Amino acid sequence: MEILNKVIFNMSPDNEPIASCKSKEEVIFKTQDCFGGQIESEDMTLDELDWNNINPATGPLYIEDAEVGDVLKVKIKDIKLKNKGSMTTIPEMGYLSEFLTGPETKVIEIKDNKAIFNDQIKLPLNPMIGVIGVAPPVKSIDCGTPGSHGGNMDNKVITEGSIVYFPVNVPGALLAMGDMHAVMGDGEVVICGVEIAGEVVVEVEVIKNKNINNPMVEDKKAFYTVASAENLDQATKRASDDMYKFLNDRLDLSANELAMLMSLICDLEICQVVDPEKTARMRVDKKALKNYNLKF
């Protein structure tokens, strides 16, 4: 099993892969936190950090036989977190910026499967991968920006047991990931979750003869279409359109019936609102369509 630990700061078709594997092989990604391990104590604030080392992603991994137009299936088999994470506030950033009194850093211990926010607030963990994606087709995109290639989607359903599907834009796909969170709420309104380093075990698989425009996620209970755009109106529209196409290919319903059904069983959810592009997802519960045995 290959272990990867080198990082990139841009997802690009020009990145040299640091390793390669075959379809259906497992790989371990050792990831840094989004600060590149620079925060060592609560005395540090973001204005002291080297911003050239923000949002590192481990990779990229070249997957053999992955060709342009294929789909890359990434099954997240295991996530292990370090024993502490951190959070920060920046007064001019995030949805709550007008309420902040200044920059502040909080170091958060991970103990007994909980994030110890303070003596009264101990939060159950939801280990998730904030940055995960493949190379975009043409230009380089920094790891802090999401898009149709994935990237910094900050989607809390990308967790252990989930499957993420990506469009393959370049030969080998060039998969990379990082920016894990021990806990994060939808929206990530103060620009961070509990930022933490760790390692992820994934199984990658190349799917031929299928095509998607944006990432999708599957877990035991649901499928999700995921889209990023300049604003939430555009992101939610793209996620909705993608879900319509996904269901239209699998259900024997008229166009109007499908649209009505989606208004009953599909949920629009926000992933994050603080990155250069905003990210939304649409969820459809598998149980609602159990008679169709819904598959990717």
Is residue 175 situated within a structural domain?
A: yes
Percent of the chain with pLDDT over 70: 100
Q: 178 and 105 in one domain?
A: yes
Which pLDDT band holds residue 6 (cuts at 50, 70, 90)? very high
What phi and psi, each to the nearest 5 degrees, are found at residue 133?
180, 180
Indicate if 199 and 118 belong to the same structural domain: yes
201 with 236, same domain: the answer is no
* 258 plus 169 within the same structural domain: no
The answer to whether residue 15 is domain-embedded is: no
Q: Answer yes or no: is 190 within a domain.
A: yes
pLDDT band at 91 (very low <50, low <70, confident <90, very high): confident
Q: Which amino acid is at 97?
A: S
Structure confidence at residue 111 (pLDDT): 97
Same-domain check for residues 72 and 99: yes
* 22: in domain: no
What lies within 8 Å, CB to CB, of 29 at 6+ separation is 4, 58, 59, 61, 177, 178, 199, 200, 202
Model confidence over 219-258: pLDDT tens digits? 999 999 999 999 999 999 999 999 999 999 999 999 999 9
Mean pLDDT of 149-172: 98
Rg for the chain (alpha carbons), in Å? 19
Q: How confident is the model at residue 162 (pLDDT cuts 50, 70, 90)?
A: very high
Question: Do residues 42 and 188 share a domain?
Answer: yes
Residue 181: CATH number of its domain? 2.60.120.580
How much is the pTM?
Answer: 0.96
Structural domain of residue 283, as residue ranges?
Answer: 216-290
Measure the CA–CA gap between 239 and 215, rounded to whole angstroms.
10
Q: Show Cβ contacts of residue 234 under 8 Å, excluding neighbours closer than 6 positions.
A: none
Provide mean pLDDT across the span 54-67: 96
pLDDT tens digit string along 10-22? 999 999 999 999 9
Residue 270 lies in a domain: yes
Average pLDDT over residues 103-110: 94
Q: How far apart are CA 250 and CA 258, in angstroms?
A: 11
**Which of the listed residues 207, 233, 257 is the one where a domain comes to its end?**
207
Regarding predicted confidence, which is higher, 54 or 129?
129
- Which of 207, 233, 258 is the C-terminal boundary of a domain? 207
Does the pLDDT value for residue 40 go beyond 90? no
- Other Cβ atoms within 10 Å of 107 Cβ, number: 16
Query: Does residue 12 lie in a domain region?
Result: no
Percent of the chain at pLDDT exceeding 90: 87
* Residue 251 near residue 201 (C-beta atoms within 8 A): no
pLDDT grade, residue 37 (50/70/90)? confident
pLDDT tens-digit readout, 24-36:
999 999 999 999 9
Residues 246 and 131 in one domain: no
Reported for 46-53, long-range contacts at CB under 8 A and 24+ positions apart, including other chains, are 46/88, 46/90, 46/103, 46/105, 47/103, 52/9, 53/9
Q: What is the mean pLDDT of the chain?
A: 95
Burial class (CB in 10 A: 0-12, 13-18, 19+), 49: middle
Please write the tens of the pLDDT for every residue from 126-137.
999 999 999 999
Number of domains in the chain: 2
4 or 152, higher pLDDT: 152
User: Residues 114, 168: one domain?
Assistant: yes
Same domain, 231 and 250: yes
Chosen domain end from 147, 179, 207: 207
Q: Is 167 domain-assigned?
A: yes
Evaluate whether residue 17 is within a structural domain: no
Give yes or no: residues 158 and 238 share one domain: no
pLDDT tens-digit map of 164-203:
999 999 999 999 999 999 999 999 999 999 999 999 999 9
CATH number at residue 236: 3.10.28.20
Same-domain pairing of 195 and 234: no
3-class DSSP state of 289? helix
Q: In this predicted structure, what is the pLDDT of residue 97?
A: 87
- Residue 267, phi then psi, degrees to nearest 5: -115, 130
What is the reported pLDDT for 48? 75
Same domain, 183 and 257: no
For residue 39, pLDDT beyond 90: no
